């Protein structure tokens, strides 16, 4: 009998596992896939290392900072700032037609840029910052106010509103067209007020660190251990049945599989709530270059682009919506050493129905076709790197489904979150994307706080 | 444990929870929250560390007693007086 069984060895599951194992629980993490990480993972192909998911860590505050999500995470996992080996971004940008806002890990740069491009919004922007500083992320009552409505009350220039939404939605909005004010405030802080960073070795460093810590504390990790069914008796999960036939028992179950996905595992026939799975998914192209992006004049860490005055954040009718996107160059962090190969990653919204419905032959062809379209769109906003490409790869919503098991390949899960992590069963809780926090720091904190609230106090 | 040993034990726990804090200047009469920027997650950790080290259970209603060093030592005195310092 385990004290806690955790479903999913992504960031949230591993973090929860560390907390519980540290306090001497018998913990087992079940991972369906052959490797850890879930949405944030890594692989090696044709001699090159690739990251999936991670563009940059958000919430990066300098070493020694005592407050904020990163400091809290490090304390809770008994890790030191140096363990993550984070290098700060060189600087990022939001590019719309004729307007260009740069930002860095110093909020002052964005303030200056807003003042330069939108002189009449200078004071309004400061008002917005004050509102966000004052937003209490532990008070859930304001969480669901429309951020669009709130922003329209503060900023009177619609283009600036669109430009601020673009990065925040790309990096964490499960809701279409709009965000909850709470989520907006949290994302604004994590990206514009704290900042972006990345370890030189990428996401593998973070994952390996977490898994080593978990195992070092006596935690058990089972790979290729997909959950087939959660057997329910008297309002509790009594057994966990794996796809390989194994049956496990745990006093509690903490699932990072997603809300709807977890509900479907329960065999009590209770109707899955009306809540919808998310619909927003991505395609991402990855190009390896024989030069560093900076040699082509590209110094931006992340470039968020949109080719019209309005930013559309919705499931596209076409396979990929190339009107907007995110260009990430993992080379452009302040590592103090070269990354070797140059890399350009481009992310756009994608329509999962299209990608999931293709047979293998067409899927391959469509990947080639859309690789080109996505790249053609992006080089309108960054230097044309196409003649320096030595290798490419691409993921689609189908890839995300395969690695995360999340319905529709919904990267940020369901638009409706379960902030308290509770379910209709007394000993079943959810953590991860559908609990409420997104991003790497957010997912780790989700695992920590759900473990603390539901699995430690008895 | 004597009260002095209990104080050392709590200091040791604080050091584990907040390794970057300078605890040499800690004022026993002032709330931890005010001088160390501890949040509710950290208070849970004080409780959990005490449980891990000494097998004592502290119900949630008693967390208020852990506000400052002096109140913590006073609260822990009856619970730890028969426990050997490790």
pLDDT digits (tens, 9 = 90+) for A339-366: 888 999 999 999 999 999 899 999 999 9
Q: What is the pLDDT of residue A140?
A: 62
User: Using the beta-carbon criterion (under 8 Å), do B44 and A67 form an inter-chain contact?
Assistant: no
Question: A54-91: b or e for each residue (b if 16 or more CB lie within 10 Å)?
Answer: bbbbbbbbeeeeeebbbbbbbbbbbbebebbebbbbbb
Q: Is the pLDDT of residue A271 over 80?
A: no
Q: What is the pLDDT of residue A405?
A: 85
**Alpha-carbon distances, residue A15 vs A171, A413, A431, A452 (angstroms):** 21, 19, 10, 11
Report, as an integer, the average pLDDT of A163-189. 94
Q: What is residue A105's DSSP assignment? A: S
In contact, A89 and A106? CB cutoff 8 Å: no
- Cα–Cα distance for residue pair A296/A384, rounded to 1 Å: 8
Q: What is the pLDDT of residue B37?
A: 80
Q: Is the pLDDT of residue A314 over 90?
A: yes
B56 interfaces chain A, CB cutoff of 8 Å:
no
pLDDT band for position A452 (cuts 50, 70, 90): very high
Beta-strand relationship, A250-255 and A247-248: unpaired
Q: What is the pLDDT of residue A139?
A: 65
Beta-strand relationship, A342-350 and A320-328: antiparallel
- Cα–Cα distance for residue pair A62/A195, rounded to 1 Å: 9
Q: Is the pLDDT of residue A458 over 90?
A: no
pLDDT digits (tens, 9 = 90+) for A315-325: 999 999 999 99
Report, as an integer, the average pLDDT of A222-234. 97
pLDDT exceeding 70 applies to what percent of chain B?
99
pLDDT band for position A404 (cuts 50, 70, 90): confident
Q: What is the pLDDT of residue A325?
A: 98
Q: What is the pLDDT of residue A457?
A: 79
Which two three-digit tokens encode residue A392? Answer: 């490419």
- Minimal Cα distance from B39: which residue of A? A72
Give the mean pLDDT of chain A: 94
pLDDT band for position A454 (cuts 50, 70, 90): very high
Q: Which architecture, in CATH terms, is A2-83+202-276+415-455?
A: 3-Layer(bba) Sandwich (3.50)
Q: What is the pLDDT of residue A17?
A: 98
- Out of 3.50.50.60, 3.30.1490.480, 3.40.50.300, 1.10.1200.10, the CATH code matching B3-80 is 1.10.1200.10
Least confident of A37-51, A111-125, A336-350: A37-51
User: Using the beta-carbon criterion (under 8 Å), do A457 and B44 form an inter-chain contact?
Assistant: yes
User: Could you tell me the residue ranges of all domains in chain B?
Assistant: 3-80
Q: What is the pLDDT of residue A275?
A: 74
pLDDT digits (tens, 9 = 90+) for B15-44: 998 887 888 889 999 999 888 888 888 999
Residue-wise DSSP of A397-454: HHHHHHHH--GGG-TT--SS--TT-B-SSTTEEE-STTTS--HHHHHHHHHHHHIIII
**Alpha-carbon distances, residue A152 vs A85, A98, A241, B67 (angstroms):** 39, 22, 50, 42
Q: Is the pLDDT of residue A272 over 70?
A: no
Which two three-digit tokens encode residue B15? Answer: 């050091």
Which two three-digit tokens encode residue A128? Answer: 């917005």
Q: What is the pLDDT of residue A407?
A: 86
Q: What is the pLDDT of residue A142?
A: 60
**Alpha-carbon distances, residue A402 vs A117, A207, A395, A397, A416 (angstroms):** 43, 19, 11, 9, 23
- Minimal Cα distance from B45: which residue of A? A76
Least confident of A32-41, A186-195, A206-215, A447-456: A32-41
- Cα–Cα distance for residue pair B43/B50, rounded to 1 Å: 11
Q: What is the pLDDT of residue B39?
A: 84
Give the mean pLDDT of chain B: 90
Q: What is the pLDDT of residue B3?
A: 92
Contacts of A70 in chain B (CB under 8 A): none
User: Using the beta-carbon criterion (under 8 Å), do B42 and A75 form an inter-chain contact?
Assistant: yes
User: Using the beta-carbon criterion (under 8 Å), do B20 and A66 form an inter-chain contact?
Assistant: yes
Burial of A312 (0-12, 13-18, 19+ CB in 10 A): middle
Q: Which residues of A make CB contacts under 8 Å with B? A: 23-24, 64, 66-67, 72, 75-76, 78, 80, 448-449, 452, 456-457
Report, as an integer, the average pLDDT of A28-36. 95
pLDDT band for position A141 (cuts 50, 70, 90): low
Which two three-digit tokens encode residue A355? Answer: 């990608």
Q: What is the pLDDT of residue B22?
A: 84
Tally of helices (H runs) and strands (E runs) in chain B? 4, 0
- Cα–Cα distance for residue pair A410/A397, rounded to 1 Å: 8
Is 0.90 topped by the overall pTM?
yes
C-alpha dihedral over A445, A447, A449, A450, to 10 degrees?
160
Q: Is the pLDDT of residue A224 over 70?
A: yes
Least confident of A12-16, A70-74, A165-169: A70-74
Q: What is the pLDDT of residue A145?
A: 87
User: Using the beta-carbon criterion (under 8 Å), do A457 and B41 form an inter-chain contact?
Assistant: no
- Cα–Cα distance for residue pair B41/A452, rounded to 1 Å: 8
Q: Is the pLDDT of residue A187 over 90?
A: yes
SS3 call for B28? coil
In contact, A251 and A380? CB cutoff 8 Å: no
- Cα–Cα distance for residue pair A160/A225, rounded to 1 Å: 47
In contact, A293 and A148? CB cutoff 8 Å: no
pLDDT band for position A212 (cuts 50, 70, 90): very high
- Cα–Cα distance for residue pair A306/A300, rounded to 1 Å: 16
Report, as an integer, the average pLDDT of A269-275. 69
Q: What are the φ/ψ torsions at residue A303 (nearest 5 degrees)?
A: -115, 115
């Amino acid at each position: 009998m385990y004290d806690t069984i955790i479903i999913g060895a992504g960031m949230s599951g591993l973090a929860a596992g560390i907390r519980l194992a540290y306090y001497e629980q018998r913990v087992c993490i079940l991972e369906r896939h052959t490797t850890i990480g879930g949405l944030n993972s890594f692989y090696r192909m044709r001699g090159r290392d690739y990251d999936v998911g991670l563009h940059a860590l958000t919430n990066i505050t300098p070493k020694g900072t005592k407050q904020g999500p990163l400091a809290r995470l490090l304390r809770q996992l008994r890790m030191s700032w140096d363990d993550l080996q984070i290098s700060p971004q060189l600087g990022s940008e939001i590019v719309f037609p004729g307007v260009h806002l740069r930002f860095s890990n110093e909020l002052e740069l964005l303030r200056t840029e807003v003042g330069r491009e939108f002189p009449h919004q200078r004071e309004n922007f400061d008002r917005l910052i004050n509102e966000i500083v004052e937003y209490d992320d532990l008070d859930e009552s304001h969480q669901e106010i429309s951020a669009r409505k709130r922003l329209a009350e503060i900023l009177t220039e619609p283009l600036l509103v669109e430009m601020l939404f673009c990065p925040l939605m790309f990096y964490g909005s499960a809701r279409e067209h709009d965000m909850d004010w709470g989520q907006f405030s949290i994302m604004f802080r994590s990206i514009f007020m704290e900042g972006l960073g990345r370890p030189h070795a990428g996401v593998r460093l973070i994952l390996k660190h977490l898994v080593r810590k978990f195992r070092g504390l006596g935690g058990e990790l089972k790979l290729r251990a997909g959950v087939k069914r959660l057997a329910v008796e008297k309002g509790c999960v009594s057994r966990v049945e794996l796809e390989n036939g194994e049956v496990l028992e745990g006093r509690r179950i903490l699932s990072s599989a997603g809300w709807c996905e977890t509900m479907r595992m329960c065999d009590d026939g209770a109707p899955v709530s009306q809540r919808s799975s998310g619909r927003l998914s991505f395609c991402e192209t990855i190009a390896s270059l024989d030069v560093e992006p900076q040699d082509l004049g590209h110094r931006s860490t992340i470039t968020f682009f949109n080719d019209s005055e309005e930013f559309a954040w919705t499931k596209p009718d076409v396979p990929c919506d190339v009107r907007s996107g995110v260009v990430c160059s993992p080379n452009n962090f302040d590592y103090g050493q070269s990354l070797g190969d140059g890399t350009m990653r481009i992310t756009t919204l994608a329509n999962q129905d299209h990608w999931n419905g293709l047979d293998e032959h067409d899927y391959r062809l469509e990947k080639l076709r859309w690789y080109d379209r996505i790249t053609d769109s992006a080089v309108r906003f960054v230097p044309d790197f196409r003649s320096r490409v030595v290798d490419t790869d691409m993921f689609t919503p189908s890839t995300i489904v395969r690695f995360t098991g999340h319905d529709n390949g919904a990267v940020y899960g369901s638009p409706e979150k379960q902030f308290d992590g509770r379910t209709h069963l007394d000993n079943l809780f959810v953590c991860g994307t559908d609990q409420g926090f997104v991003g790497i720091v957010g997912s780790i904190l989700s695992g920590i706080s759900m473990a603390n609230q539901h699995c430690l106090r008895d | 444990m004597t009260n002095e040993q209990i104080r050392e034990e709590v200091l040791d726990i604080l050091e584990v929870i907040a390794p970057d804090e300078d605890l040499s200047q800690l004022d026993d009469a002032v709330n931890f929250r005010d001088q160390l920027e501890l949040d509710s997650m950290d208070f849970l950790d004080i409780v959990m560390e005490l449980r891990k080290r000494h097998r004592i259970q502290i119900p949630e209603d008693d967390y208020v007693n852990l506000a400052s060093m002096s109140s913590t030592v006073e609260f822990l005195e009856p619970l730890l007086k028969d426990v050997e310092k490790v």
